[in-house]
Structure 1
Amino acid sequence: MTDLTASPRTDPLSLYRYRDGLYAVDLITAALQMDFFTWLASHPSSLQQICAHHGFSPRPVDVMMTLFATHGWVMQKDGVFHLSATGQEHLHSKSEWFLGPYYASLHDRPIARDYLEVLRTGKPAGWSGDKAAFDWHKAMEQEDFARSFTAAMDCRGRYLAQALAKSLDLKGRKKLLDIGAGSGIYACCIAAQHPHLQATVFDQAPVDRIAVKLIVERGCADRVRVTTGNMFEGLPLDCDVHLYSNVLHDWDVKEVRELLAISHASLPPGGLLIIHDAFIHADKTGPQHVAEYSCLLMHSTQGKCYSTGEYAELLVEAGFTPGDYQDTVVGRGFMVAVKN
């Protein structure tokens, strides 16, 4: 039986950062290929104006501008983006210090090419830049991909989940629903840390079958069970805690709004909602590593990393009272909210 309350002896932060930030350089490359920074210098613009001029979609542009703001290459004042002094000197094509040619050899990287299309359409590209592949959401319906991706999220989740479990106050709570749960690692770690709690792992086929096997192997089957379903079609009604761990970031605002409404309808009064994720600051000036991770999500899913302010607004709109954000490990953290 695995000890799901144990932490590693060493800090894996750098290993997470390499993988999380992998696609950021390609988004920078795509912007330089368009000579975007030179245009912005002459046309300070709001996000909406950038979209209108270039024919871009709001979600990828928000991710792009957040990335640039966290690096200090652009500044935002009263909703209008301006090129910063660093941007003027090193990203403007008329500057003697322009670094565009340094990135020119990266223009043909598949992910950099993908971004030009994602910016225009707002739709995710093929997984890992494979044009023949399904986007992530469709790929998860395929047995081989679902098994591989679930294994990846499971090994990541072992560290993240026990850190989350140790940070949560779940006194007086009875049953947790882990929504879009994948392997069930979060439900298992939380159950291990909070012995009074029962848990249900909720996911679609074929992920549900993978979860059942792993939960049994971890010795958690007596307190963690699996229920199969589509989270957009309704949730079980017997849980007083809902967990969305690294789930909402896969979806655009419309779908996030829909999922929060479904949770509100399914939870009892006073029910607790937990969002565990990588969060952007409310003013969207950081953290830099989360802005870089958001590039990967924007490329391959329908989502992005949301800011604490965006989540708070969506939670209030759905009928919850949101709490403050709390850090855990490797740039992740959580927000809790209570059903009014």
Structure 2
Amino acid sequence: MTTTEDPQAAPAVDPGPLIRLTIADCAAKVLHSAVTLGVFGALAESPADAAELARRTGTHHRMVPDFLDALVGLGMLERTEGSYRNSPLAQAYLVPDSSSYLGGFVELTNETLYGTWGRLTEAMRSGEPQHLDPDKGGFVGDRHQDPAKMKRFLAGLDAYSDRMGAELARRTDWDRHSSFVDLGGARGNLAAVLVRAHPHLRATCFDLERTRPLFTEHISGLGLTDKVVFAGGDFFTDPIPPADVVVLGHILHGFDTARRRELLGRVFDAVRPGGTVLVYDRMIDDDRSDPERLLSSLHMRLVSPDGSEYRVADCRAWLRGAGFTDGDAQPLLGTHTLVTAHKEAA
């Protein structure tokens, strides 16, 4: 007996979300290419049609129309009667040399994510981290041996730490404190943002000794050598410099739970009585339902042997275990969580 589908039956499940997820990386690559090609800087000069923009950016006329209209659809450009201009979002964050420029961060993610995530299936089978440079090892690969590459890497981080520093500057009562230590402070950019916002502060960047030349160059260029100093060492073997506040940004997610507890114990010893600890990461929501946070955690598992993101509740429990009094947790930049805890006054 032959049957036919009932034309009045409910429609099949729409495959659209699946298709969009499958090609999601295409949209990101359009953004990455637009930053690399200088599209947003070119349009900051003045609006332009496709032919003029192709001339300004040195791109091929065959590719430009669909490329630009895709950027319109993605909310990065606006189009009026064939003339293109930056959207408010792109104008705010993607024009080179602006104080809020995030193009360095876009380029950093393009460089670091695709190679490692392309090996996710292999990592799922082996459980082994997938390095950016398998011959060199480590998430940063050979950047410390290549000063130019390391400077590009840190410039991408600076693009993000500018915004993070501005948020921390207004979220914390810095008037109560006179000093802070930024663990893993790299070349001191976040510390520079904080001391400029609160000139009474003095900062120490605590990072591996090999980072010192990059720190010295950057902080000297900013004219802040009297406010931000460098201390070289290892978090787990060298004393953390004492301060009123210790900042741990993107630090705990690089270690397993035992090492996190150990490090927070060392931080507790470094924070002066009455001081504060600030911890920020892309922490997982406590019911583990936010896919973006879970993807960030999976990324840390992909690129490091022991790292992952962690729940907000876990972070607060570790801080209490280290001796800090319970503080609060609040969203940060829409992508992170800031957990604050305190050390009782003597």
- TM category (shorter chain) comes to 0.5 to 0.7
Q: Using the alignment, how far apart are the partners of 2:329 and 2:163 within structure 1? A: 19
Q: Is the counterpart of residue 10 in structure 1 residue 92 in structure 2?
A: yes
How far apart, CA to CA, are the structure 2 residues paired with 1:170 and 1:289? Answer: 31
Does residue 313 in structure 1 map to residue 317 in structure 2? Answer: yes
**Which structure has the larger Rg over C-alpha atoms?**
2
Aligned 1:60-75 pairs, distance under 5 A: none
* Structure 2 equivalent of residue 155 of structure 1: 159
CA drift of 1:124 comes to 2.6
Deviation at 1:335, TM superposition (A): 1.0
Structure 1 residue 115: Cα displacement: 2.9
- Partner of residue 292, structure 2: 289
Aligned ranges 1:104-183 → 2 under 5 Å: 109-118=118-127, 123-127=128-132, 130-136=133-139, 142-144=145-147, 146-183=150-187
Give unpaired runs (5+ residues) of structure 2. 1-89, 95-100
Shift of 1:17: 9.2
The answer to whether 1:298 aligns with 2:319 is no
Q: Are the aligned partners of 1:322 and 1:335 in contact in 2 as well (CA < 8 Å)? A: no
Equivalence map 1:113-262=2 (5 Å)? 113-118=122-127, 123-127=128-132, 130-136=133-139, 142-144=145-147, 146-262=150-266
Q: Residues 10 and 143 of structure 1: is their aligned pair in 2 closer, same or farther, counting only changes over 3 Å?
A: same
Q: Deviations over 1:125-184 (max 9, x none)?
A: 222xx4323022775754546444323322221222222222221222011011111121
Point out the more displaced range, 208-217 or 328-337: 328-337
Does the 8 Å contact 1:150/1:207 carry over to 2? no
Classify 1:211/1:193 alpha carbon distance in 2 versus 1 (closer, same or farther; 3 Å).
Answer: same
User: Counterpart in 1 of 2:13?
Assistant: none
Classify 1:222/1:338 alpha carbon distance in 2 versus 1 (closer, same or farther; 3 Å): same
Cα distance, 1:304 vs structure 2: 1.4
Q: Calculate the aligned-residue CA RMSD, in Å.
A: 3.0
Q: Could you tell me the TM-score, scaled by structure 1's length?
A: 0.64
**Partner Cα distance (1:207, 1:241) in 2:** 22
Are the aligned partners of 2:131 and 2:141 in contact in 1 as well (CA < 8 Å)?
no
- Corresponding residue number in structure 1 for 2:30: none
Task: State whether residues 285 and 293 of structure 2, in contact with CA within 8 Å, keep that contact through their aligned partners in structure 1.
Answer: no
Amino acid at match of 2:199: P
Partners of 1:152 and 1:111 lie apart in 2 by 24
3-state SS of the aligned residue for 2:120? Answer: helix
Q: Deviations over 1:242-287 (max 9, x none)?
A: 011111111111221111011112222222111122121122222x
CA 1:143–1:207: 2 relative to 1, 3 Å = farther
Call closer, same or farther: CA 1:331–1:262 in 2, change over 3 Å.
Answer: same
User: What is the percentage of aligned positions where both structures have the same residue?
Assistant: 23
Q: 1:139 to 1:253 in 2, by over 3 A?
A: farther
Please give the TM-score of this superposition, normalised by the length of structure 2: 0.63
For 2:171 and 2:338, the matched residues in 1 are separated by 9
Distance in structure 2 (CA, Å) of the matches to 1:196 and 1:134: 41
